[in-house]
Structure 1
Amino acid sequence: MGVNTLSKSERLNSKIAIEKLFSGSAKSFSLFPLRVVFMQTAKKEGAAGASLLISVPKKRFKRAVKRNRIKRQIREAYRKNKHPLLNLLEEKEQNLMIAVIYLSNELISSAEVEEKLNSLLVRIAEKIA
């Protein structure tokens, strides 16, 4: 697997897992304009350390072009900053489901998205450590 990739196995796409994540037992916190919902799961063979779901509400951005831009920014920021978190999960032999939800009505720069997401990942790492 490449160093900074986001493979299919790292994406959260199981309806059952997503429902479990949003059922209320998961931890969450916000750092405007992002909100993160995460839940630790037992280590499964062949599963990536963390699986990611990105949500940009249609209510806030009617145009798919803008929603996709934000998703790309979040994916890129995660791809660059995921390694410390993945290393911690590897040590603890845990898996993690993460949902990132975009809260703002405004588009923001990629640098700002990256900075916010990085601090969210650091906070997640602190909470599971």
Structure 2
Amino acid sequence: MKQGKFTFGKSEKLCSRKFIDKLFDSGEAFMAFPLRVQYLFDVLPEEVEAQAMFSASKRRFKRAVKRNLLKRRMREAYRLNKEPLLAVLKEKNIQTGVAFLFVSKEELDYHAIEKAMKKAIQKLINEVETR
């Protein structure tokens, strides 16, 4: 990835069904309200430091428009704040898959989601550094 580019390309999206199943079966999780973060340090199918996926519950948000809005906000917050995490992963030569699940009952604005995303990324960095 080029330095200073805030992108979120295809190779950074967690799509592998096998890896997603493994992530939810044997990965670890923590809360950074309104986000639940599920992560697994393992070899990824792509040559990137981290792959991420974003989800909002259909049970809590019946309308697809709302779910998509929340996922867009989470993706944008991740895209703009992931650099420190990727730098630490590259330095330690570790790959990770991460799922960001939106767990709040009400729709939150971008700033609340970004604040939680920054907290979540910091916790992930701490996890990487304690390995």
TM-score, length of structure 1 as denominator length: 0.94
Q: 5 Å matches for 1:42-53? A: 42=43, 47-53=47-53
In 1, Cα distance between the equivalents of 2:104 and 2:112? Answer: 13
Equivalent residues of 1:56, 1:70 under 8 A apart: yes
- The 1:65/1:126 distance shift into structure 2, 3 A limit, reads same
The answer to whether residue 15 in structure 2 is matched with residue 13 in structure 1 is yes
% identity of equivalent residues: 39
Number of equivalent positions: 127
Show the counterpart of 2:28.
Answer: 27
User: Match of 1:96, as an amino acid?
Assistant: T
User: Match of 1:26, as an amino acid?
Assistant: G
| Structure 1 gaps, min length 5 | none
Q: 5 Å matches for 1:1-129? A: 1=1, 3-23=5-25, 25-42=26-43, 47-129=47-129
Q: CA-atom RMSD, angstroms?
A: 1.3
Could you list the structure 1 runs, at least 4 aligned residues long, displaced by more than 6 angstroms after superposition.
none
Equivalent residues of 1:43, 1:94 under 8 A apart: no
Equivalent residues of 1:27, 1:38 under 8 A apart: yes
**Residues 28-69 of structure 1: CA distance to partner in whole angstroms, max 9, x if unpaired?**
10122110000111377x521110011111001010000000
In 2, Cα distance between the equivalents of 1:64 and 1:47? Answer: 32
In 2, Cα distance between the equivalents of 1:84 and 1:99? Answer: 18
SS of equivalent residue, structure 2 residue 95: strand
In 2, Cα distance between the equivalents of 1:104 and 1:82? Answer: 22
Equivalent residues of 2:44, 2:97 under 8 A apart: no
In 2, Cα distance between the equivalents of 1:42 and 1:33? Answer: 28
In 1, Cα distance between the equivalents of 2:12 and 2:44? Answer: 14
TM-score, length of structure 2 as denominator length: 0.92
Give the CA deviation at 1:27.
1.3
